[in-house]
Each structure stands twice: as C-alpha cells, then as structure tokens.
Amino acid sequence: MLPTMSLYRHPEIQTGRPFDFDIDDDGWLWEACGPAQLYAHRLATGAGRLIDIPEPRGKFINHILAFQGKIVGVVPHITELLIFDPATSGRTYLPLPGDPIVWYARKLPDGRLALFDRNEGHVILLDDTASQPRAVRCPYPGSPISGHIASGQVLSDGLLYMFVSDPARIIRFDPQAERFVDCLPFAIPDAAPGGFFDDGRVMYISDTAGGRLLPFDFQTERWLEPLPIPGYRTQFGFCGACIKFQGQGYYSLSTYRFPSRIAAGNRDELILPEGWDKGVDGRPPRFLDRQLVFDPASQSFDFLTVPAQPDGVPLICYGWADDKRLIFTGYVIPFAEDGGPSDRPGDWLIWQSMPVK
C-alpha cells in the first residue's frame, strides 16, 4: 500500500533541480541549489526560508546534512565543509584532509559522519564540527575511468556498503573498527550500481541504466536472479538513489539513458556518451514526477506519482525517510511553448507524508 502524500510549493523560492537534503531536530528541511543560498521548509507548517551565504565557495552545495545542531554542506569544488549555524546564521568552513573530491556523506548509527572521497579513495570520518576529520584509505582501488567510491550506506548488519564500477564491486567498511573489511565482485561485472536498500538479509541494488534490480544476499554472499523493472526505456532510462520507508524501497527515476560516470580526478567533469542530451522521451534528460517502489515481501513494483500541476511538470529526485515520515523534494518545471518541460527555474516543491497543521 502506497502512503498518502501532501504537496507544498514555494513560489518565493525559484530553483533548478535541487540537491540532497536533510531534516534537523526542530523539523526544518534544509536543501540547496547552487553555491550561495540555503532553502528551508518547516514540515509542520509549510513555512519557507531563503538564506544567503556571504562569499560563497565552489559552484554548488551537493549535499546538506543536519549534524549536531549545525547544517553541514558538502561542496565538491573545495576541500572544506560548509558549517552553518541556524541559531546565529554564522558560517565557517572545516578543512578536509588531503585533496578529496566529496559529493556525498552519510550519517552513521553512532552519530558520526562518513564522507566519501572519490578522488583519493578515502572514507573520511567526522566526530563533530570542532574536531579534525580523519581519512581511512580504501585498499580496493576504483577504476581509472570513474574513480573511487562516491557514496554508501549502512545496512542492517552494521557495515557500510559502497560500490565501485568498471568492473562492478561491493566494498564493505566497518565503521566501529574504522577499517575496510572486503571487496566482493558483482555477478554482472558491467553493471552500473546505484541506489539500494535491504530487508535484513537481501540488498536490492539498482543497475542504474540496466532497467533491473540486482538482489544480493549479504549474509550468504550469494547473488539472486535480477528483477526487471516495469517501464524501462518507455517511462524511464535511469534508476538511481534509493531510500527505505516502512520496509519498501523508493528509487528515483530519470529519463537519462546511460550509466552515470564522473571523471576520476576532476571535480565536476562528467563522462558523457554520444546521445546523452536526449532522454527516453527525446527531450533533455530530467528526473521524473514519480518514484519506483519495490516491496521485497511481495517482490512487486509500483509507482508513487506527484499530482499533475497546471503550470508545469513536477520533478522529484532526492528523498528522506525515518520510521514515520517520507519526504521528497524537487521543483515544478515551467511548461515550454510546445507544452513540454522548459529549461527555466520553477517553484521549489516538497512532497511529504505528513500534512501541515
């Protein structure tokens, strides 16, 4: 059964596709698009805030995390973390060790942060914003094409799972011991792994441009039969990030048609194949107005779709969930003259499972 969702638009915040977000302990959602502003949405009331960052660094803030009362911004184009204090609006930067290229981070179960360095192959651990981060080098190198680890998450066995491609491999890290455990090959070496979640025994990994989920029993270390996703190459061409909510996996969908590759050693260069600028619908690639939902109990697929809007095409990409709340963000792409999605910014939108009071 799909959850009931409520949609909120912020016409006072005009944006392109926003990046990864988080929720703080006071019920504010924090997100960014570009280098110089933070967006905030109050889950309980629907109120919005737009906060300017003086003297911005980098080109964009790729990931926002609420961490120990502060807002941490991951900025790929610099070797520092943005630290913003919502109580005072103060802003500082925390240096990272080495010359990392970090796009994403993850909260660990014990409250620390793990950051993923796809340049030098480190997991960077941060205890708090007053301490110096420390780097643990990965002994399993990525490919010279796509570089090292880009992201990861902790599964129910307590290990941090990450991927590298070309060929596809699973890398496991023990956050408590602060050491890498092992490196496991995919049954399909040319898979392009993306988002995943687990049911306590099996993790369901999206083969991003392959139109399938790849189930892996991480207790027995055995690959199961791939699961074809309905709508592949007709509704979507790329199945990406995943979040888990009440036992089901929610995967973002895009009209992009190729594996995603970020050039090794380059802070913003993407490896783009011929034809990359045309999605499955013949238009420039974009995220869709829906999430793929997979239920491991019934082994079935469904779609959770944003209500149609009269003035544009809804787009949702990143999601967040805890035991009771499910939230997605995006924006409403204004219509072009031909009735399709344009390249103009639009209203920031929040799609949440709890209505405002």
Estimate to the nearest angstrom the gap between the alpha carbon of 315 and the chain centroid.
Answer: 15
| Calpha distance 111→227 (Å, rounded) | 34
Q: What is the CA radius of gyration of the chain?
A: 19
Question: For residue 65, is it within any domain?
Answer: no
| Calpha distance 185→104 (Å, rounded) | 23
324 pLDDT higher than 80:
yes
Structure tokens at 51: 């906060």
Question: For residue 35, is it within any domain?
Answer: no
357 pLDDT higher than 80:
no
348 pLDDT higher than 90:
yes
Question: For residue 92, is it within any domain?
Answer: no
| Calpha distance 219→189 (Å, rounded) | 21
Question: For residue 256, is it within any domain?
Answer: yes
Question: For residue 318, is it within any domain?
Answer: yes
Whether residue 185 contacts residue 167, with contact meaning beta carbons closer than 8 Å, is answered with: yes
Question: For residue 117, is it within any domain?
Answer: no
Dihedral angle over CA of 115, 117, 121, 122, nearest 10: -30
Token pair 């967006």 in the structure block, residue: 39
264 pLDDT higher than 80:
no
Q: What is the structure's pLDDT at 349?
A: 98
Structure tokens at 132: 């110096």
344 falls in which pLDDT band (50, 70, 90)?
very high
Q: Average pLDDT, stretch 102-117? A: 96
Domains held by the chain: number = 1
Which alpha helices (DSSP H) does 116-250 contain, by range? none
Quick one: which of 133, 46, 32, 135 has its CA closest to 91? 32
342 falls in which pLDDT band (50, 70, 90)?
very high
DSSP 31-88: E-SSSSEEEEEETTT--EEEEE-SS--SS---EEEEETTEEEEE-TTSSEEEEE-TTT
Q: Average pLDDT, stretch 211-217? A: 98
Question: For residue 342, is it within any domain?
Answer: yes
- Side-chain-side CA neighbours of 85 within 13 Å: the count stands at 8
17-33 per-position pLDDT tens digit: 999 999 999 999 999 99
Task: Say which DSSP state 146 is in.
Answer: T
Estimate to the nearest angstrom the gap between the alpha carbon of 334 and the chain centroid.
Answer: 24
174-204 per-position pLDDT tens digit: 999 999 999 999 999 999 999 999 999 999 9
Question: For residue 70, is it within any domain?
Answer: no
Mean pLDDT (the chain) is 95
Q: What is the domain range of residue 211?
A: 1-17+200-357
Give Dmax (Cα) for the chain.
Answer: 57
